[in-house]
Amino acid sequence: MSGEFILIIDDSREIVKHLSETVLPSFGYHTLHAYDGQSGLDSIRENEPDLVMLDFNLPQMTGLDVLQQMAQESLKTPVVLMTGYGSELSAIEAFRLGAKDYLIKPFTVDEIVETIDRALVETRLLHDKAELAEEIRRLKVEMSRQNNEMRTLSNIGKAITSLLSVDEVLQRVLEAATYLTNAEESTIWLPDDAGTYLRPYDRQTPLQSENKNHAVSIATSLPGEVMQSGRPLRQSNMSGEGIKIKSGCFAHAVLYVPLQLRGISLGVLGVSNRSAYRAFSKQDEFLLSFLADYAAIALENARVFQAADQALTARLEELNTLIHITQTITASLDLDEVIHLTIQQVHDSWHIEASSLWLLDEETQMLRVLTNVGTAVDELEKLELNLDQGIVGKVVKSGKPIYTNDVAGYEDHFREADEKTGFETRSLLCVPLIFRGQVVGAMQLLNKKDGDFGEMDLERARAIAAAIAIAVSNALLFDEAESRKRLLENALHQLDNVANSKLS
């Protein structure tokens, strides 16, 4: 490390010039100088250099006098004493007064550099420790902020997914979007029946409003671009009118994210700053994308609920169960709690003999069982399947669900699992867990007791799988954040131990 300020106190102008203009700057040091002890003391008090190179034989006030005065004033700047041959006893006295090292004239450049490095080792260690501690403090603050944001998002998601009115869902999502991104306005864009235009809904516009005047083309608009690509979009333009949002409406900054469910775009969630000259950040995009995941589930659940025949009590009970499952599994960020709550809720809501959740390892591309109910736990959890094995492998690889009520005649069935667990699979429903367009695992239901698996079971399973994918992915992200936080705390603890041992 270089860049420190070194004060040279010597009555020899030749030595001062040589050190301050040639030797020390070539190694990256900044220099100050004084030609007598009193001026040197004044410079120490005023400039607080990192190191003092002090001549022993100064006129009027010697080097030892300077050291004595520094000790009286508790000036802690490290000092290297420069002395001639035969003055070693003076160096001993200098050490008693607090000098860190000494140089015997004439000295070489190598001796100068080595002596300075020895004298500054403690100062540098303290400086490095302080810098690292500050960096760790900033990282801990950032980790704490991110954890709080994830908890806030989880609470918002729980509140949104409990709503059964599409209008209420839209209003709560719009409020949350404005709050999370500190935006001036928020809008949800939903496609018309023909799939040609996107109609905007804000907090002043109910869903029932036709709102045709402000609809934008999916083919030529920014929200339409996000709807088609399935990817977020951030733009800012601080000059002129800014970015055109819709007819007669401009903004200085916009952020759009897709409302996706099972890899299909249902609409677009957008925020904008029309007056404020503030662009949206990557963190804003991250938060809005998480909110959009919850919003897509809530919107789909509310739509399904409102479209159901209110006279069919059984259907209403199924939908309420779906809402309850979604609330339960999105209410926690603890992975073990999420998966056990999930599988138990799923198992209890279906008349089935067994169920399981499978997770895809991105690196190895292997599938393993996260949790299951109804089969031999120890044996099933030992299994690892590649994407070419079993119905679950086919579902994860293709991203498409499969159900069959004649497993014995289905060639893709992984019969070794039945042999190891002693379980006989007769019927099966398997749906992919899709998070932001990526398949992260699968949910598998076995042996329906009250009939065959059908399209209604498939629709229910897909809706629940969408919530499971978000809950499991969020729990994994939270685990990663907590692990990084613990590693940083351990690093700081170890650094403290090392630094304290060196200082002692």
10 Å CB burial of residue 474 (0-12, 13-18, 19+) is buried
Residue 431, phi-psi category: left (phi > 0), alpha (psi -120 to 50), beta (remainder): beta
**Sheet with strand 5-9: strands edge to edge:** 30-34, 5-9, 51-55, 79-84, 101-105
- Residue 53 has a CB neighbour count (10 Å cut-off) of 27
Domain 310-480 matching CATH 1.10.1270.20: the answer reads: no
Domain extents in the chain: 5-107, 164-303, 310-480
CA dist 321 and 309 (Å) reads 16
Superfamily of domain 5-107: Response regulator (3.40.50.2300)
Q: Which pairs from 485-494 meet CB under 8 Å and 24+ separation?
A: 485/140, 485/143, 485/144, 485/147, 488/136, 488/139, 488/140, 488/143, 489/140, 491/136, 492/132, 492/133, 492/136
- Can you give 287-331 as a three-state secondary structure string? HHHHHHHHHHHHHHHHHHHHHCCCCCHHHHHHHHHHHHHHHHHCC
Domains 164-303 and 310-480 fall in the same CATH topology: yes
Strand partners, 80: 53, 101
Preceding peptide of 223 cis, ω within 30° = no
pTM value > 0.85: no
Architecture of domain 164-303: 2-Layer Sandwich (3.30)
Strand partners, 217: 197
Q: What is the pLDDT along the chain (504 residues), one digit of tens a residue?
A: 567 899 999 999 999 999 999 899 998 899 999 999 899 999 999 999 999 999 988 888 888 899 899 989 888 899 998 887 656 667 777 888 888 888 888 888 988 889 888 888 887 787 777 777 778 788 777 777 677 777 776 777 777 767 667 788 888 889 989 998 999 999 999 998 888 999 998 876 655 455 555 789 999 999 999 999 999 999 999 888 889 888 788 999 999 999 998 888 899 999 999 999 999 999 999 999 988 988 888 888 877 776 654 445 556 666 676 676 667 666 666 667 777 777 777 777 788 999 988 999 888 999 998 888 888 767 777 888 999 999 999 999 999 999 999 998 888 898 888 888 889 999 999 999 998 888 999 999 999 998 999 998 898 888 888 888 887 777 777 777 777 777 777 777 777 676 667 665
Distance of CA 354 to the CA centre of its chain: 36
AA identity, residue 416: E
CA dist 418 and 180 (Å) reads 48
Tell me the pairing of strands 428-435 and 366-373.
unpaired
CA dist 437 and 441 (Å) reads 12
Whole-number CA gyration radius for the chain: 35
